[in-house]
């Protein structure tokens, strides 16, 4: 949308996506507790792109040919159709500039038994969330019938990201149990790979509130204690069998947790796009990291935690191998985690992956688009716009129960996302911009954001005035 708005009509903007529907993912948590429907969080992509003059291909990219072929040197991607009429058909799509913005592959297979095809539920897609809401409705009826049930919410692997989504779902579920009058019969457990609550994959935070500075751990634990939600931290789920999760903790001990209802998020990996050179030889390892995310202008040299620096993080998101390729949002490979990496005595890695969803993805996407426009218009042969997560702030409104009168949300900001202990030696962040409050105003803001971003994504008049 940003490219189309800024480029003349002599330039063609093409979107390749396997999806027919666009999904406002942050509101999937409300779908997952039955407060919203699929139609509340999705809309048809075709009419929006047609109205903007953007070419829309319902397909997935499967091969990247950045050098072209021996007999045709122009770069192209091989796409595979996902629409019902042409499903599975492959085509070659030439490009001058390419933005890899696939988002993540939901890697449920990393943990045996994890996911809707296994023994747990999910809110990662709208279809997952719809099924989760149905299972929650059944569970509530069982509670009303006198059963006592255990609900386990959290992360399903030691390297998961997006703990915030699990956090939100846990408290929305707890809120709905209270609304239904069955809370006293339910045990709610938060199972997370964070070393401590409030880590969120950003190494925790010191937070400025209206009256004091407090650790994020204290802020989070206070909310969990207030709502009667138990927590297990530093957990790597090894496998999930029907009704029981097997997990290892940072001390290397093995545990089991019985459940009647489990919503566990999967780890992410890249979209498994294969890169081939002009002769057809596989060069995927030169373009992508082992986790499938695209290498960009970051410092990927392996180094101990104590040597991590803010400048390790990418600024332009340009491929070092191909100057006309960029990766935006989750599609780019981070240089390392943000939280301190930890291993158990058994060698199991339990460390949250760095979050790159939401506001950072939007800012990065806009930055990449503006750099490409400058390069096309001849202002420079190099990217002109930057958006390092080490110089970027972020805001998050985490729902803790949805109701106009009694709903609440935790409103949090941080600056920067990646801590910089050289610039901010004590806390790594500027505490003037690193804050947290919880209350009913936060819920109303969350509801407004839902409306605003759907309006923006539908390219309604003035959509570009709404910030990321």
Portion of the chain with pLDDT greater than 90, in percent: 95
Model confidence pLDDT, tens digit, residues 354-375: 999 889 999 999 999 999 999 9
Domains detected in the chain: 2-105+269-339 (3.50.50.100)
Structure confidence at residue 70 (pLDDT):
87
pLDDT number for residue 100: 98
Q: How confident is the model at residue 154 (pLDDT cuts 50, 70, 90)?
A: very high
pLDDT in tens, 219-256: 999 999 999 999 999 999 999 999 999 999 999 999 99
Report the pLDDT averaged over residues 129-136.
Answer: 98
Length of the chain: 468
- Put residue 250 in one of left, alpha, beta given phi > 0 → left and psi -120 to 50 → alpha: alpha
Report pTM.
0.95
Q: pLDDT by residue (tens digit) across 282-329?
A: 999 999 999 999 999 999 999 999 999 999 999 999 999 999 999 999
For residues 367, 369, 374, 380, the Cα torsion angle rounded to the nearest 10 degrees is 70
d(CA 26, CA 286): 33
**Residue 463 has what DSSP assignment?**
G
Tell me how far apart the alpha carbons of residues 139 and 44 are, in angstroms, rounded to a whole number: 32
Judge whether residue 210 has pLDDT over 80.
Answer: no
The stretches of 228-351 forming alpha helices (DSSP H) are 284-287
Across the chain, mean pLDDT equals: 96
Q: What is the pLDDT of residue 405?
A: 86
Inter-residue contact 376 to 97 (CB < 8 Å): yes
- The Cα diameter of the chain in Å comes to 72
- pLDDT at residue 379 greater than cutoff 80: no
Rounded percentage of the chain residues whose pLDDT exceeds 70: 100
Supply the pLDDT for residue 380.
Answer: 78
Give me the pLDDT at residue 169, please: 97
Is residue 118 predicted with pLDDT exceeding 90? yes
**Predicted pLDDT at 381:** 83
Q: Which long-range contacts (CB under 8 A, 24 or more apart) does 65-69 make?
A: 65/92, 65/275, 65/276, 65/278, 66/98, 66/275, 66/287, 66/321, 66/322, 66/325, 67/277, 67/278, 68/278, 69/278, 69/280
Across the range 210-218, mean pLDDT stands at: 89
Q: Flag whether pLDDT at 177 surpasses 90.
A: yes
- Band (pLDDT 50/70/90 cuts) for residue 209 is confident
Model confidence at 143, in pLDDT bands (50, 70, 90)? very high
pLDDT grade for 346, boundaries at 50, 70 and 90: very high
pLDDT digit string (tens) for 398-453? 999 998 889 999 999 999 999 999 999 999 999 999 999 999 999 999 999 999 99
- Give the CA radius of gyration of the chain: 22
At residue 71, does pLDDT exceed 90?
Answer: no
Collect all residues with Cβ–Cβ distance below 8 Å to 262 and sequence separation of at least 6.
119, 120, 121, 151, 152, 153, 240, 245
């Amino acid at each position: 949308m940003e490219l189309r708005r800024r480029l003349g009509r002599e330039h063609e903007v093409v979107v390749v996506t396997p999806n027919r529907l666009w999904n406002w993912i942050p509101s999937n948590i409300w779908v997952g507790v039955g407060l919203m429907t699929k139609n509340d969080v999705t809309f048809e992509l075709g009419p929006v792109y047609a109205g903007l003059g953007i070419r829309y291909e319902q397909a997935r990219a499967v091969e990247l040919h950045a050098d072209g072929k021996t007999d045709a040197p122009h770069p192209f991607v091989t796409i595979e159709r996902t629409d019902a009429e042409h499903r599975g058909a492959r085509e070659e799509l030439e490009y001058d500039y390419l933005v890899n913005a696939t988002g993540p592959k939901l890697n449920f297979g990393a943990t045996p038994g994890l996911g809707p095809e296994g023994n747990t539920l999910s809110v990662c897609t709208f279809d997952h969330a719809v099924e989760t809401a149905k299972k929650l409705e059944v569970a509530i009826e069982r509670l009303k019938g006198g059963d006592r049930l255990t609900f386990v919410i959290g992360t399903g692997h030691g390297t998961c990201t997006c703990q915030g989504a699990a956090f939100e779902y846990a408290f929305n579920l707890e809120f709905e149990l209270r609304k239904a009058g069955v809370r006293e019969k339910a045990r709610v457990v938060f199972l997370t790979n964070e070393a401590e609550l409030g880590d969120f994959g950003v190494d925790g935070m010191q937070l400025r509130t209206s009256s004091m500075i407090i650790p994020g751990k204290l802020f989070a634990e206070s909310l969990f204690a207030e709502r009667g939600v138990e927590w297990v931290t530093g957990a790597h789920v090894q496998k999930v069998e029907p009704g029981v999760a097997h997990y290892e903790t940072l001390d290397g001990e093995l545990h089991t947790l019985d459940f009647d209802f489990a919503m566990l998020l999967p780890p992410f990996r890249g979209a498994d796009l294969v890169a081939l050179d002009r002769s057809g030889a596989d060069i995927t390892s030169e373009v992508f990291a082992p986790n499938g995310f695209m290498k960009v202008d970051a410092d990927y040299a392996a180094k101990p935690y104590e040597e991590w620096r803010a400048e390790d993080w990418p600024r332009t998101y340009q491929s070092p191998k191909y100057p006309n390729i960029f990766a935006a949002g989750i599609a780019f490979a981070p240089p390392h985690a943000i939280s301190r990496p930890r291993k158990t005595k058994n060698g199991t890695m339990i460390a949250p992956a760095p979050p790159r969803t939401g506001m950072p993805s939007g800012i990065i996407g806009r930055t990449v688009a503006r750099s490409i426009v400058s390069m096309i218009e001849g202002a420079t042969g190099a990217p002109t716009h930057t958006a390092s997560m080490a110089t970027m702030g972020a805001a998050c409104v985490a729902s803790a129960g949805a109701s106009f009168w009694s709903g609440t949300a935790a409103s949090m900001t941080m600056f920067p996302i990646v801590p910089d202990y050289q610039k901010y030696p004590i806390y790594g962040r500027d505490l003037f911009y690193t804050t947290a409050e919880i209350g009913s105003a936060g819920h109303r803001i969350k509801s407004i954001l839902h409306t605003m971003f759907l309006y923006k994504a539908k390219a309604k008049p003035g959509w570009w005035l709404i910030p990321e």
